[in-house]
Structure 1
Amino acid sequence: MTRQITLIDIEKSNEKNLDSDIQWVCDCFGLSSGRDIENVSIRIIQDLLNRTPYEDNISSEMIANDLNINISRVNHHIRNLIQAGLVYRKKRHIYLRGGSLKSAVQEIRKDSERIFDELENVAEEIDQMMGLKNR
C-alpha cells in the first residue's frame, strides 16, 4: 500500500482551544491545504473525535448526516484521511487509527521511522557503491 505522509511545520498558538488545536493538528498533516476550502477533512476528524467515545461503529452515512454533506464527498475525504494514515476503514465503518488522535499520530510516526530507516539503508548502500564516505 502506498501512503503519503505530509508534515508541515506550523507554529502552534499558545492559546488553549480545542477547535484550534484540532485545526492545528490537521493543518500540520496538510489536511487543510489544496481544494478542501470547506475543511471537510477536518470536520470529519472532529466528527470522529466527537463520536468515538460513544459509538463503536461509525459509518460514512453517519458522518455525512452529521456534516450535512453528500456521502460521496465524505467518502472522497475519508480515502484521503486513510492515505494520510489518520483513519482506517473496516467493512463499512470508519475508525481513528489506534482508537484516538494521539495513537494515530504515534502510528504515523512509526510509519515515517520505517520509511526513513529504509531510505537510510539504501542511501548507505548507494554511497558505498559510489565510494562516498559518511562524514
Structure 2
Amino acid sequence: MLLIGGIVYMKKLLFFAVILFSMGLSRGYTHTQDDPTLVDKIFVSPATVSIPYAGDVYFRAYAYDKDGNRIENFTPTFWQASAGIIYDDGHYVGNITGWHTVEVVYNVEHEDHVHLVTGEASVHVGF
C-alpha cells in the first residue's frame, strides 16, 4: 500500500515538474533576440494632437520588430501620461491644460532581465 502511494506521489511530482519546466522553456524561447516577433520599436498615432479641455482622443500603438515588420495583435503592457487620464485602451481625457506626453510601454522579458520598449505622443489640451 505504501509503495502504491509513493508511486502516485512521484507521478504527480513528475507531472508538475514537466509543466513548470515547459513553462520556463516557452517563456525563455518566446523572448529571445532571434525571435522575429520581438518588439523593437513602438509608434503612437496620432503623434501630435490638440484637444479642448475635457476633450478626449484615442491613441493607438503600433509595434515593429527589428526588421521593420509590423507586429499584428500587439497589446502594450501599459499606457501612462504626464498629465490627464489615460486608460488601458489608449483613451486619453484632457483634464489639465497645456502640452503633455502620452507614453506606451511594453515589457520584453529576457532570461536575465526585462527590457522596456516605449513610444510617445504629444497632446495639447486647450480651453
Q: Indicate whether the TM-score tops 0.5.
A: no
The answer to which structure, 1 or 2, has the higher relative contact order (CA under 8 A, 6+ apart) is 2
The structure that has the greater radius of gyration is 2
In proportion to residue count, which structure has more helix? 1
Larger strand share, 1 or 2:
2
TM-score in terms of structure 2 length: 0.24
